[in-house]
Structure 1
Amino acid sequence: MEKKKKKTTAKDSRPPLLSVRGLSEASGVPSKKIRAYIEAGLLPEPAKKRGKTPYYDKSCIPLICLIDMFHSKYGLPVKIIKQVLEDMGHEKVITEGRDLEKKLNRARELPWFERDFGIDNEPLLTKKALVLASGLSLKELEDAIGQKMIMPGENGLFSKNDLEIALMLSRLKKTDAKTGTILLDFLTMQLHTIESLVEKEFDTFFQNVINKNITVDDAKAMAENSFDVVRSLLPVCYKQLLGRKVAELSKKAAGTQRKS
């Protein structure tokens, strides 16, 4: 008696989904790395979940290989890879892998990564050397690092710029406690404001380079011009705006004294 052949349904014909372990075996990228990429939001949402275990379509394999190549081999930061992926959209990324590779290659050429790779502003000092050169204590230096006032490179070393900030902090330490605390708050606020300004400027240049509105050389020239403008304009604007605020403060203080 012949056995009846099992009918193949549309559900059965779909390619099997892969767990993180399956993706690792297929791509050659360690499971630990793939999980880190998932947590960073570099992969699309899983096609299915069984309990807490996510399962992905096999179309994610080339994407994982590409992400790992640019992050592990070329040192492209995860946040930059994520920005490119979000700009394209995950669906487009899966179908247009070559376009993604081109955009990631363009991102590698951007001059803003020079500090990360130590190409231009080469970190020179160890933590111990920075403490000795600046006069800060180890705890004070670690506090400054924790507040992102001083930022070591990926190799854990510090640049000339970090040394300048450390020396400034050391000078503030020598003032009286009350004045030093206020000035330190001002310095922290100013550094965070500058960081925010640079991030916004970077995003503008980055999007235009990635979308081919301007070339990397154009962006580099614009960044240099921007630095010159800020360097010449910022002290004038800062002095003028601060002068206005001090005048307002004097008026308010005088008004309060008259009322009392």
Structure 2
Amino acid sequence: MSPMPAAKTRYKMQHLEQRTGVNRETIRFYIHEGLLPEPERTSRNMAWYSERHVELVKLIRQLQEREFLPLRAIKALIHDTDDYEFTPRQKEVFALISERLGTGLASPETSAPLKKTRDRLGYSQAEMDELCRLGVIQAEGGALSALDVEILTQWAKLRRSVLSAERGVTSEDLGIVMSAVDYLFSREVRFFVQKLSDLADKEAELILTEVIPGVNRLFALMHERKVRSFASQFGRSEKASAE
């Protein structure tokens, strides 16, 4: 006789809190934002959570605390990779990328004081707080990474151009860029899972030296072409009208 299949493990909210170390208010927020599936409800006041909830809550916290990803990016990543499992080799490649690019933590060699950078570039503390909330920068312990400083420098240049506060442009408008980056990144992860499952060591190195810089450059070039194409249509239209 075949053995009976093991019953699915189910948890009440208090047990889910214990398993994950995350409080119920945060878990309910994750569900509301679409990061977690709804629990199984057997009555109006009884909800059951699965092992999948445990895994996802732990993953979300890890991506927030170790990789400093905003919830918007985590949601895109979870939904686009939910049906995939990374191979051991792919995990090794991710570890290599993390080692070479750094974890995102500001270190003494590459960091800059937040307050000094803020004052030098002309940001208010409220603006810095908003940029942190949006996930544009990731200030740690009063310090900024070199990457964060470059992002702030570029945004400051744009603010001094026509994208000024006087025209109503705020940090919230960077959401356009963040959404594009989140979408591109989620598709990159899907592509990696589907196409690059058995990279050799030399090929993994090329991800860092060729692929990442190349994709960044392609994105910039294609964006420029879109702008040129859009603008040229107006030029042709006005010329035709004049004739």
Cα distance, 1:225 vs structure 2: 1.5
Say whether the 8 Å CA contact 2:80–2:190 is kept in structure 1: no
Cα distance, 1:203 vs structure 2: 3.0
Deviations 1:88-136 (A, max 9, x none): 5xxxxxxxxxx8996996696262695555399x872454232123223
How many pairs align? 225
Q: Distance in 2 between matches of 1:84 and 1:237?
A: 24
Cα distance, 1:165 vs structure 2: 2.6
In the alignment, does 2:154 pair up with 1:168? yes
Aligned alpha-carbon RMSD (Å): 5.4
Letter in 1 for 2:154: M
Structural mapping, 1:189-208, within 5 Å? 192-208=179-195
Shifted more, 215-224 versus 102-111: the winner is 102-111
Structural mapping, 1:212-223, within 5 Å? 212-214=197-199, 218-219=203-204, 221-223=206-208
Say whether the 8 Å CA contact 1:123–1:157 is kept in structure 2: no
Distance 1:171 1:203, change over 3 A: same
Structural mapping, 1:172-251, within 5 Å? 172-175=158-161, 188=174, 192-208=179-195, 212-214=197-199, 218-219=203-204, 221-230=206-215, 242-251=227-236
TM-score normalised per structure 1 = 0.54
Decide which structure has the larger Cα Rg and report it.
1
Task: Choose which of 236, 239, 242 in structure 2 pairs with 1:254.
Answer: 239
Say whether the 8 Å CA contact 2:118–2:124 is kept in structure 1: yes
Task: Choose which of 6, 13, 19 in structure 1 pairs with 2:12.
Answer: 19
Letter in 1 for 2:152: A
In the alignment, does 2:111 pair up with 1:111? no
**Percent of residue pairs identical:** 11
Q: Secondary structure at the match of 1:87?
A: coil
Cα distance, 1:34 vs structure 2: 10
Cα distance, 1:17 vs structure 2: 5.7
Q: Secondary structure at the match of 2:147?
A: helix
Q: Which runs of 5+ in 2 are unaligned?
A: 1-6
Q: Distance in 2 between matches of 1:190 and 1:244?
A: 20
Q: Which runs of 5+ in 1 are unaligned?
A: 1-13, 89-98
Shifted more, 214-223 versus 197-206: the winner is 214-223
Say whether the 8 Å CA contact 2:12–2:49 is kept in structure 1: yes
Say whether the 8 Å CA contact 1:172–1:184 is kept in structure 2: no
Q: Distance in 1 between matches of 2:148 and 2:200?
A: 30
Letter in 2 for 1:41: L
Deviations 1:143-179 (A, max 9, x none): 545665x321566742222222322333334446779
Distance 1:237 1:175, change over 3 A: closer
Q: Distance in 1 between matches of 2:194 and 2:95?
A: 14
In the alignment, does 2:137 pair up with 1:137? no
Task: Choose which of 36, 39, 53 in structure 2 pairs with 1:41.
Answer: 36
